[in-house]
Amino acid sequence: MSDISAATVKALRDKTGAGMMDCKKAIKEAGGDMEKAIEVLRKMGLKDIGKRAGKVAAEGVIGTYVHPGDQVAVLLELNCETDFVARGAEFREVAKGLAMQVAAMNPLYLSEADVPPAVLEKEKEIILETLNEKQKAMADKIIPGKLQKFYEEHVLLHQKYVRDDSEKKSVKDVVEELSAKVGEKITVRRFQRFEVGEGLEKKDANLVSDIAEVLEGN
């Protein structure tokens, strides 16, 4: 396909947020089929994620979520490389979804690297105490798997994404898929969760289930 109209390239760029040259290349490879071109861009993006690690992601949005009843609120910063991508509806929707994730699952850390060494050591001690003598002989092999469970519960990027019906995608998977789709480095920089009465004796035991019901309605 040699004749690719500017309107077609623009339509693909508007739909995916990818660069003009990448869109033109994808349309050509897909023989003009828009849906196939989107798949081509995704494959290109997945290959480029590692290459974009050194890029600066200084644009983005603050995703917000306030649980009905105004008892829990979350602010989350999702970053990308360009303002064009930051303005995209899908980018903003992911930012909102991640804010809801924090509200529902209350992660303590953003990434594995953010977990303090002292916390990990304490967790390892707890794991060791639960092992029998035979298992302790294989502790080096058992502990990493047990720690993975800890990460999945307390580390945002390792948590299962609450808006994924298949319950297979992690938050990291969602971020990487978005990065592949738009062709830019996407990162969650930070988040803050506020809960009324947090740190005091008052605690709403039904809070997580309440948020889960809101998620099911979205």
| % residues pLDDT > 70 (the chain) | 82
Tell whether the model's pLDDT for residue 12 goes beyond 90. no
Is the same domain home to 98 and 135?
A: no
Is the same domain home to 104 and 160?
A: yes
Is the same domain home to 41 and 121?
A: no
Q: What is residue 141's predicted lDDT score, i.e. its pLDDT?
A: 86
Is the same domain home to 101 and 204?
A: yes
| % residues pLDDT > 90 (the chain) | 44
d(CA 123, CA 152): 14
More confident residue, 199 or 185: 185
Q: What is residue 184's predicted lDDT score, i.e. its pLDDT?
A: 85
Nearest to 18, CA basis, from 29, 9, 5: 9
Query: Final residue of a domain: which of 151, 174, 207?
Result: 151
d(CA 168, CA 59): 29
Burial label for 137, CB within 10 Å (0-12, 13-18, 19+), is exposed
Tell whether the model's pLDDT for residue 202 goes beyond 60. no
Q: What is residue 122's predicted lDDT score, i.e. its pLDDT?
A: 94
Domain, as residue range, for 65: 56-112+155-216
Q: How many domains does the chain have?
A: 3
Is the same domain home to 89 and 196?
A: yes
Is the same domain home to 105 and 188?
A: yes
Residue 195 pairs with which residues in a beta bridge? Answer: 72
pLDDT tens by residue, 17-49: 666 777 888 888 888 888 888 878 776 665 455
Encoded tokens for 126: 């707890």
Is the same domain home to 87 and 186?
A: yes
Q: What is the 3-state secondary structure (H, E, C) of the chain?
A: CCCCCHHHHHHHHHHHCCCHHHHHHHHHHCCCCHHHHHHHHHHHHHHHCCHHHHCCCCEEEEEEEECCCCCEEEEEEEEECCHHHHCCHHHHHHHHHHHHHHHHHCCCECCHHHCCHHHHHHHHHHHHHHCCHHHHCCHHHHHHHHHHHHHHHHEHHHCECCCCCCCCCEHHHHHHHHHHHHCCCCEEEEEEEEECCCCCCCCCCCHHHHHHHHHHCC
Query: Final residue of a domain: which of 151, 173, 205?
Result: 151
Is the same domain home to 159 and 210?
A: yes
Tell whether the model's pLDDT for residue 167 goes beyond 60. yes
Is the same domain home to 77 and 164?
A: yes
pLDDT band of 161, cuts 50, 70, 90: very high
Place of tokens 């709403």: 204
Q: What is residue 4's predicted lDDT score, i.e. its pLDDT?
A: 80
Lowest mean pLDDT among 14-18, 148-152, 157-161: 14-18
Provide the sign of the torsion angle of the four alpha carbons 164, 167, 168, 173, taken in this order.
positive
Tell whether the model's pLDDT for residue 170 goes beyond 90. yes
CATH code at position 191? 3.30.479.20
Q: What is residue 116's predicted lDDT score, i.e. its pLDDT?
A: 95
pLDDT band of 97, cuts 50, 70, 90: very high
Report yes or no: 158 and 113 within 8 Å, Cβ to Cβ: no
Q: What distance lies between CA 114 and its chain's CA centroid?
A: 16
Buried b (16+ CB within 10 A) or exposed e, 109-134: bbeeeebeeeeeeebeeebeeeeeee
pLDDT tens by residue, 49-93: 555 566 667 799 999 999 999 999 999 999 999 888 899 999 999
Mean pLDDT (the chain, rounded): 85
